[in-house]
Amino acid sequence: MEKPATIKDIAKRLNISLSTVSRALRNASDVNPDTKKAVMALSEELNYQPNKLALSLRQKQTHTIGVIVPNLDYVLSLMVRGIDEVALEAGFTVMVCQSNESFGREILNTRRLLESLVDGFIISVSSESKSFDHFKKIQERNLPVVVFDRVTPHLTAPSVRIDNEEGGFVATEHLIEQGYRRIAVLAGPENLGVSNSRMDGYLNALKKHKIKKDPALIVHCDFNQDYAYFATLELLAMKKRPDAIFTISDRMAIGAMLAIKKKGLRMPEDIGLVGFNNEPVTSLVTPSISSVEMPSFELGKAAAKLFIETMHNKENMDLEEKILKPKLIVRESSQKLPIKK
């Protein structure tokens, strides 16, 4: 009961050859029903498990997917669970690596997973990454790559994401409908596609409602509660301060909220606030924060499904692009008008 049993053990005890055992265990063709039964029985008894290493070495497939994410916050860990779900179902194991939003770490993770001989990658890019050569190297090796959530035009690959522009649009339009007019946006790093798309949605909403864009109200800062806090303080210190803020993540919304409270302003009366991601915390703070919800779990599942598709017909790499819809959840922080019946 020490070492796991191998095919050889079975063959020896049954006095038959390795090949026969192998065939018996797999496809029944070309093997006597009796010997097959015997093999099955013994393999059961010895609790035989085929050695994955040997299998992988032989058929040059590890049935492992490398997943690279910038962090494991609420939404991303939900997405990873979605990926896991589908991957397991399809017989794949996933290896998750966090890049911690660091470019260097992302390269390191890529290399490590490549060394582990994963069959392909499902990636959400770090906010710090400006070059994508390390990912292109993967594709040069002909391994399937699927990008999810944080996509980038610089990487040509099938992708799954939500409609970020739409998300930014509904958030902003909601603020406008609530009567806010000087709406600021706290955006992420300038090179982050997700952030820019949400900002595009913001701009579209302004345009639709004929509100002039004010560059002073567009602030880029790090994806981080503290940065958002200080950025908001600066916004609130303006002569003509904004009367609403749309942040492209909830963590930033929290920072903004703290700054607003610090300044003694009330939400939604003095200032409106809408975040993005619909993390549970948004409903727990006072006032509760409106936020754009995304179907994270579904998004993860979709990414894994797309990966498996891509893997199965590499020839027909059509660069599929799957886009899910976000949904605004209105809470106290932006509900200025009485709720219409």
Taking CB under 8 A as the criterion, which residues in 188-217 touch a second copy? none
Restricted to residues 40-99, the positions that interact with DNA (CB under 7 A) are 48-51, 54-55, 57-60
Transcribe 202-239 into DSSP letters: HHHHHHHTT----GGGEEE--SSHHHHHHHHHHHHTST
- Other CB atoms within 10 A of residue 15 CB: 6
Q: Which helix (H) or strand (E) holds 120?
A: strand 120-123
Q: What order of strands is seen across the sheet that includes strand 120-123?
A: 93-98, 64-69, 120-123, 145-148, 159-162, 321-324
Indicate the residue among 41 and 54 with the shorter CB distance to a second copy. Answer: 54
Using rule CB under 7 A, residue 238 touches DNA: no
Site string for a second copy, 271-290 (x = CB under 8 A): ---------xx--xxx----
Which of 14, 117, 218, 265: binder of a second copy (CB under 8 A)? 117
- DSSP alpha helices (H): ranges in the chain? 7-14, 18-25, 33-45, 52-59, 74-89, 103-115, 133-140, 164-177, 193-208, 225-236, 250-262, 281-284, 296-312
Is residue 286 within the footprint of DNA (CB under 7 A)? no
Rank residues 25 and 95 by Cβ distance to DNA and give the closer one. Answer: 25
Cβ atoms of 193 and 151 within 8 Å: the answer is: yes
Residue 67 neighbours by CB distance under 10 Å: 29
From 109, 112, 149, select the one nearest 127 (Cα to Cα). Answer: 149
Provide the 10 A C-beta neighbour count for residue 22.
16
**Rule CB under 7 A: is residue 33 a binding residue for DNA?**
yes
Residue 7 touches which of a second copy, DNA, none (Cβ within 5-8 Å per kind)? DNA
Query: 295 is in the binding site of which of a second copy, DNA, none (Cβ under 5 to 8 A by kind)?
Result: none
Q: How far is the CB of 52 from a second copy (least distance, A)?
A: 6
Residue closer to a second copy (CB basis): 10 or 170: 10
Piece of 14-22, 115-123, 210-218, 270-278 that binds a second copy (CB under 8 A): 115-123
CB of 73 to a second copy, least distance (A): 9
Binding site for DNA (CB under 7 A): 3, 6-8, 15-20, 22, 25-26, 30-35, 48-51, 54-55, 57-60
Binding site for a second copy (CB under 8 A): 1-2, 4, 49, 51-54, 56-57, 62, 72, 77, 80-81, 84, 88, 93, 95-96, 98, 112, 114-117, 140-142, 254, 280-281, 284-286
